[in-house]
Amino acid sequence: IQLTQSPSSLSASVGDRVTITCRASQGIRSYLAWYQQKPGKAPKLLIYAASTLQSGVPSRFSGSESGTDFTLTISSLQPEDFGTYYCQQLNSYPQTFGQGTKVEIK
């Protein structure tokens, strides 16, 4: 199953609403996760089951789904939200990741 993320990169200002999309090549039910990765660090789980916020993750992060389209939204971008964001499908093998979206702060 291919996951296509868009955009591949974005630059936004503090306080902006940011939306990242992940499109699956076939149905994956809700077996989708979102991660944030900062340079030189391990990925951090933000959202699991497409829309459930991981414990300890700020509520400005949210996830949604519509068919095979999944969206990660940051309601008000903060300086610490820079990094690369990945989606992952765990519905079928091999599990796959999207190619990543690099978020920069203007």
Partner 1 sequence: EVQLVESGGGLVQPGGSLRLSCAASGLTFSNYWMSWVRQAPGKGLEWVANIKKDGSERNYVDSVKGRFTISRDNAKNSLYLQMNSLRVEDTAVYYCATERPSGCDYWGQGTLVTVSS
List residues binding partner 1 (CB under 8 A). 30-33, 35, 37, 41-45, 47-50, 52, 54, 86, 88, 90, 93-100
Q: Work out how close the CB of 14 gets to partner 1 at its nearest, in angstroms, rounded to a whole number.
A: 26
CA distance 15 to 44: 22
Nearer to partner 1 by Cβ, of 55 and 66: the residue is 55
Question: Are 18 and 85 in contact, with CB atoms under 8 Å apart?
Answer: no
Q: Work out how close the CB of 5 gets to partner 1 at its nearest, in angstroms, rounded to a whole number.
A: 9
Backbone angles phi, psi at 75, to 5 degrees: -70, -35
Nearer to partner 1 by Cβ, of 8 and 78: the residue is 8
Nearer to partner 1 by Cβ, of 47 and 103: the residue is 47
| 8 sits in which H/E element | none
Q: Any idea which residue has 């079928």 for tokens?
A: 92
Question: Are 90 and 31 in contact, with CB atoms under 8 Å apart?
Answer: yes
Q: Work out how close the CB of 59 gets to partner 1 at its nearest, in angstroms, rounded to a whole number.
A: 18
- CA 39, 87, 7, 26 dihedral sign is positive
Nearer to partner 1 by Cβ, of 16 and 97: the residue is 97
